[in-house]
Amino acid sequence: MKYCDSDVDILRRGCLEMRKLFLKTADIDPFRYVTLAGVCMAIYRSKFLIEGTIAIDEDIKQDVYSKKSIAWLDYLSNKYNINIQHALNGGEKN
């Protein structure tokens, strides 16, 4: 167990150091993004992309579901003869 604790401590310190470096060099918190690619895009957009050079539509909604997940939910719905609401048949209820 001590070995695991040591690994977690090393990882924690490494993550904090990485965060500190990103904040110092790019003023970006990497933990606000899911992937390193997302962090890189945020840095590019905030530091290097010249305003008005390409169109960036902030209002574009991206699909947050996969075709496989919808197929699986439809399969379960048909198999058990139940209604399962998902992104393509009504979306989430508020």
In three-state form (DSSP H/G/I as H, E/B as E, the rest C), the secondary structure along 12-25 is HHHHHHHHHHHHHH
Query: pLDDT tens, position by position, for the chain (94 residues)?
Result: 777 888 999 999 999 999 999 999 999 999 999 999 999 999 999 999 888 887 767 766 677 788 999 999 999 999 999 999 988 888 776 5
Q: Give the per-residue pLDDT at 5.
A: 85
Asked whether 22 and 29 are in contact (CB, 8 A), the reply is: yes
Q: Give the per-residue pLDDT at 87.
A: 86
Count of Cβ atoms closer than 10 Å to residue 73 Cβ: 17
Q: Give the per-residue pLDDT at 39.
A: 95
Q: Give the per-residue pLDDT at 25.
A: 96
